[in-house]
A and B are shown apart, each in its own frame.
Chain A
Amino acid sequence: MAERTTKRVTPPIASAIERSSAPLPTRRARVRYWSIIGLLGVLSLAFAFGLLAWDNPLPFGTDGFWRIASLRATSIVVIGVVAVCQSLATVSFQTVTNNRIVTPSIMGFESLYVAVQTSSVYVFGVAGLTFVAGTGQFVLQIAIMVGFAMLLYGWLLSGRYANLQIMLLIGIIIGGGLGSVSTFMQRLLTPSEFDVLAARLFGNISHADAADLPVAIPLVIVAATLLVWRAKRLDVLALGRDVSMSLGIDHRRELMRVLLLVAVLMAVSTALIGPMTFLGFLVATLAYQFADTFDHRRVFLMAVLTCFTILSGAYFVLRNVFAAQGVVSIIIELVGGTVFLIVILRKGRL
């Protein structure tokens, strides 16, 4: 990160010359920002179109072509929903925790998802999975996750000894405890039951059920709009607890609100496609580099586009070039995890 810190030194001087305190102070910064946005936008469109059109047996523009394309459109919508969820949630979470290493998905959501899925197979057998599929279960799963998050925040972020880091750790530990319960149940499954379950324990776009989208999309739109609407407050929160309090923000209440919205977004994403631990981290890290600003609205836009490009690009390449669509999420996780390791080793502090 050495080159970043040196880069950081220049804008204030330049802005002093131009007499501007805007998020992208110099002309160069603005050109850079918008050209990256443009590039990512073009790439997103290209990959989305590629997912619709590649290998489509009918010629472009005919009725049959659009019929096949519309069947595939669901997965594009799902990618869009996931991109919005993961990127907004991670960026906001990292801002309020004042830490660019953590991701919201370690907060026990994934263990909760795994525990719910495993126990349904454990109790009801393979038939349990058909039982847990369906919109009712989708809503239930989101409700369980958000409820869990509310309990945790309400318990640990209120009162005299409120401490965000302790809350994070307790979330992780509860996740670990749930993990050992799940592992135990998985042990008792027959191999065939386990295979069916294992397919559901990895994030996969094709898990998403189109029937769930009417529930998921409004939830995401509401949560995302609220976050974007409050982005200016996030800018202030990023200055740290003490500074934001002296600037007149009710820090604890703002924190709870943001975390609740993050919980909703993460719950929708996890319930829709399964756990993706390092996608958010990867996207947020790249977005900070690309955007090079502390203005949240601009970082949000960059992060959503980056996430959409990564997800759709990975699916397009792996599906059509390597014919390996099942492992997309695992490869994204590996790349994200590696980036995580590199960042943590290169970075001088947290």
Chain B
Amino acid sequence: MTTAKPTPRAASRGRLFDWKLLIGVAVVGGLLVLSLTTGVYDVAGADDGAEMFAITRVPRTISLVLAGAAMAMSGLVMQLLTQNRFVEPTTTGTTEWAGLGLLVVMILVPNAPIPLRMVGAVLAAFVGTMVFFLVLRRISLRSSLIVPIVGIMLGAVVGAVSTYVALATDMLQNLGVWFAGSFTSVLRGQYEMLWLVALVCVAVFVAADRFTVAGLGEEIATNVGLDYNRVILLGTALIAIATGIVTVVVGNLPFLGLIVPNIVSMLRGDDLRSNLPWVALLGIGIVTLCDLVGRTIIMPFEVPVSLILGIVGAVVFILLLLRQRRRG
């Protein structure tokens, strides 16, 4: 948390919607329209164009919105709960745990229906996030930078387990395909579970104030009458649901939850309540933009969005770190 104190404002709720947000919505809306019209198949000219539009383009755009918003907001919640700016589902091992859960379900029940796979991934993501929080509580942190290092190492352990299991069951290449986030296979009939993450987003909006108070630390939160452990549990559950479902339907979206909240708070300060819509919006915008780049850069083929996001995210993350370095 930066030391910048937002001045107390009685009418902070009034700022939730202002003209800047409307412009943002318009820009992202434009990107979404572009996403609807981009593709190799000519939906306007061909006879079954309208049908293809409904089968592929609409689900794809909807899932971009849902996944982008959910992952960005999970990152924000996680950063609040851990009081650390460098934390998000991919730097804490949560996605690796989700992948392990998915893998285990796939091995135990080879033709598992999508809901079952999601249950596995969500449960594993929950366990993994709790392990991470447990570790954070056990260690005293002399530096905020240690937290992501520990998280990434934890993720590496879980990743090694997944790799071993996948190797033993001859699923290694499948594993790579699952982990690489891509919206290519998002079709009607396969993405509908993603609507569940919309509920997660709503829940984050509703509980936003609690997360903010929890972000002040256990003592202060308990002092002002908050059941700290329950909020942590709620936050973990929301993060796990979002990460698990997105991992099963789309795959890994690296760094999204990390860069979006950081950029928003850099531009707007730390007023969580009015930042939340921006976080969701920017998350959607970045995922859509990366997906558009991935779809057009080697047309008629596609580059998975995780690749673009991985490279863009790594660059932005490094810039953030260097900025932090200036401040000491």
Contacts and interface: CB of A to CB of B under 8 A. Distances in A.
A187 interface: yes
Interface residues of B, number: 52
B153 A101 contact: yes
B269 interface: no
Interface string A148-174: 000000000000010101101110111
Contacts of B311: 177, 180-181
Interface in B139-166: 139-143, 145-146, 148-150, 152-154, 156-157, 160-161, 163-164
A202 B166 CA distance: 13
A165 B310 contact: no
A176 B188 CA distance: 32
B160 A184 contact: no
B164 to A, nearest CB: 5
Contact of A166 (B156, B309, B322): B322
A172 B91 CA distance: 10
A165 B145 contact: yes
- The interface residues of chain A, by DSSP majority, are classed as helix
Contacts of B314: 173-174, 176-177
A128 interface: no
Interface stretch (B100-108, B174-182, B196-204, B218-226): B174-182
Nearest to B310: A180
A176 B310 contact: yes
Interface residues of A, number: 45
A14 interface: no
A217 interface: no
A163 B160 contact: no
A106 B148 CA distance: 12
A348 B138 contact: yes
Contacts of B134: 345
A201 B149 CA distance: 23
Given A165-B145, A168-B145, A169-B86, A334 B310 contact: no
Contact of A180 (B135, B152, B254): B254
Interface string A171-201: 0111011011101101101010010001000
Interface stretch (B33-41, B116-124, B207-215, B300-308): B300-308
B2 interface: no
10 tightest A-B CB contacts, nearest first? A180-B310, A177-B314, A337-B157, A165-B145, A184-B307, A161-B325, A349-B140, A330-B164, A333-B160, A183-B180
8 contacts: A169-B148, A177-B314, A183-B179, A184-B307, A330-B167, A333-B164, A334-B164, A349-B142
Interface of A: 99, 101-103, 106, 161, 163, 165-166, 168-170, 172-174, 176-177, 179-181, 183-184, 186-187, 189, 191, 194, 198, 202, 277-278, 327, 330, 333-334, 337-338, 340-341, 344-345, 347-350
